[in-house]
Amino acid sequence: MALWGGRFTEGTAETVFALSRSVHFDWRLAPYDLRSSLAHLLTLETSGLIEKSDAAAIRGALKELSVQVQSGAFVASDGDEDVHSALERGLNEKLGVLGGALRAGRSRNDQVTTDLRLFSIDHMLEIARQITLLQIAILEKAGEYVNDSAPGFTHIQHAQPVSFGHELAKHAQAFARDLDRINDWLARTSVSSLGAGALAGSSLPLDPEATANELGFNSVFANSIDAVSDRDYVAEALFIFALIGVHLSRIGEEWSLWASTEFAWAKVSDAYSTGSSIMPQKKNPDMAELARGKSGRLIGNLVSVLTMLKALPFAYNRDLQEDKEPLFDSIDTLLLVLPAVTGMIATTDFDRDKMALAAPLGYSLATEIADYLVVKKIPFAQAHEAAGKCVALCEVDGRQLHQLTDVELTGVHPALDAGVRSVLTVHGALNSRTTHGGTAPVLVAEQINVALKNNSASMAQITSAQARFSEMMSA
């Protein structure tokens, strides 16, 4: 069903309808469209524009339609252009001409962006919940390895030994920032656009503030032209999703490396691995690779919407219909990837001995020698030079730093006495890294506790926001 046509003498060309049609992807806005229609109905009723008895009939039909949409008893048909026209057809089938009464003072322009805001908020909350679950998996896994050492890397070269719990827990910090961003986004997105009309507001006695309140928005638009053209919340959501994708891809890369035969640190569980159709021995970390690979489409969806918005004239232009598929795709992608990565992390075991043996390799304790000399008041540049000489000596015959003789050590620098041996152990190196946020196991344990506490607070906040949202939806 079309929502226009009075001034047209010719029917729409088939190609035009095909290109115009969005109901095959915007149908998922139906529950939000029905809910915002109830709010709009209330404003029309309160202002006396619709008789109480008519309003009751429309309200009953909207609620019935909601149930039918949910059960699948009412679906869009081939002739429906978009979700709004499909639902108005549904109302007309129940109410006859009265079904068209809701269009007073409302345009699809303010309607569609109101629906999309509600949809986005609902799904953003679910993504936030999935992120807190992922954080728990990361932090609990990190907690198992606080006292296990492993090489820490820069340039994928052994740099300094670290607590493997520290190595894992770092990911929880990235996701904490994502949750922060989501919170900021929620505050900025909670603005109702309903009442902006096509672009100029309305001559009818509507009450946009009451409608906003009814739909659980924190505030109402300030400028009706901006209200129908603003898709910042879509672009911002897509940026948040793209960055979450990037964070997931970095986990994916690590897991793939650590599961390789060369590293052999990670044993990814069977449930989160896949096999090869030709090589019977293969067990591949495909979830890690998909987490890495999916970041491409998450970034692509952001670029797609920003490009669509660039230089777009204000108020409504049909280009804006292109906001939905990228947004839906990013949300669907994350809701698939997040639980899979959470499960993969929770069920991976690490080879503690192998990581501990690797920790001092690659002269990763050389900084300890330099720091030892600094404590003895040797300027760092000289200390660095001396530690470098120790490495050079070891490289000649493939020894480790602690295997240098006392004579060799004092030969490199007179202040390098045998006392240095006490810091030339991985254990000593880890325990000495006690500055704020460092890798000393006591600090790592504390860091994990604080992160878990913040996580519980986020979880409680998300749960209550989700409860408020579903209460609003079921009104």
Among 89-97, 108-116, 360-368, 431-439, the segment contacting ligand ARG (CB under 6 A): 108-116
Q: Report in angstroms how near the CB of residue 108 gets to ligand ARG at its nearest.
A: 4
Active-site position among 53, 71, 155, 474: 155
Q: Is 120 considered catalytic here? A: no
Q: How far is the CB of 216 from ligand ARG (least distance, A)?
A: 22
Q: Does 228 bind ligand ARG (CB under 6 A)?
A: no
Among 35, 40, 41, 82, binds ligand ARG (CB under 6 A): 82
Whole-number minimum distance, CB 320 to ligand ARG, in Å? Answer: 5
CA-nearest of 40, 313, 327 to 185 is 327
Give yes or no: 276 in active site: yes
Please identify, among the stretches 67-75, 106-114, 278-286, 298-306, the one whose residues bind ligand ARG according to the rule CB under 6 A: 106-114
Left, alpha or beta for 221 (phi > 0: left; psi -120 to 50: alpha)?
beta
Strand ranges in 359-399 using DSSP code E only, listed in sequence order: none
- Shortest distance, position 473 Cβ to ligand ARG, whole Å: 21
Contact 401, 133 (CB under 8 A): no
Which one of the listed residues 219, 276, 422, 456 is annotated catalytic?
276
- Contacting residue, 39, 76, 86, 112, with ligand ARG by CB under 6 A: 112
Q: Which of 35, 40, 106, 108 binds ligand ARG (CB under 6 A)?
A: 108
Find where tokens 């292109």 sit. 322
Number of Cβ atoms within 10 Å of the Cβ of 219: 12
Which span (170-178, 294-302, 317-325, 384-392) binds ligand ARG, by CB under 6 A? 317-325
Residues 18-37 that bind ligand ARG (CB under 6 A): 22, 26
Instruction: Count the alpha carbons within 13 Å of 464 in the hemisphere toward its beta carbon.
Output: 5
Name the one residue in this structure whose structure tokens are 């048909």: 77
| Residues whose CB falls within 8 Å of the CB of residue 175, separated by 6 or more in sequence, listed in order | 131, 134, 135, 138, 244, 247
Residue 321 as a binder of ligand ARG (CB under 6 A): the answer is: yes
Which position among 41, 125, 320, 444 is part of the footprint of ligand ARG (CB under 6 A)?
Answer: 320
Quick check: 171 and 244 in contact, CB under 8 A?
A: no
H/E element, 151:
strand 149-154
Specify the stretch interacting with ligand ARG by CB under 6 A; choose among 173-181, 226-234, 285-293, 315-323.
315-323
- Among 36, 37, 66, 109, interactor with ligand ARG by CB under 6 A: 109
SS3 state at 12: coil
Three-state DSSP class for residue 161: strand
| 92 lies in the site for ligand ARG, by CB under 6 A | no
Kindly state the tokens that stand for 165. Answer: 């719990």
Sequential DSSP letters for 383-411:
HHHHHHHHHHHHHHHT--GGGS-HHHHHH
Given a contact cutoff of 8 angstroms between Cβ atoms, the answer to whether 66 and 165 are in contact is no
Task: Compute CA distances 174 → 109, 170, 299, 339, whole Å.
Answer: 37, 7, 17, 17
Size of the residue set binding ligand ARG (CB under 6 A): 10
Choice between 258 and 316, CB closer to ligand ARG: 316
* By CB under 6 A, residue 316 contacts ligand ARG: yes
Binding site for ligand ARG (CB under 6 A): 22, 26, 82, 108-109, 112, 316, 318, 320-321
Residues classed as catalytic: 155, 276
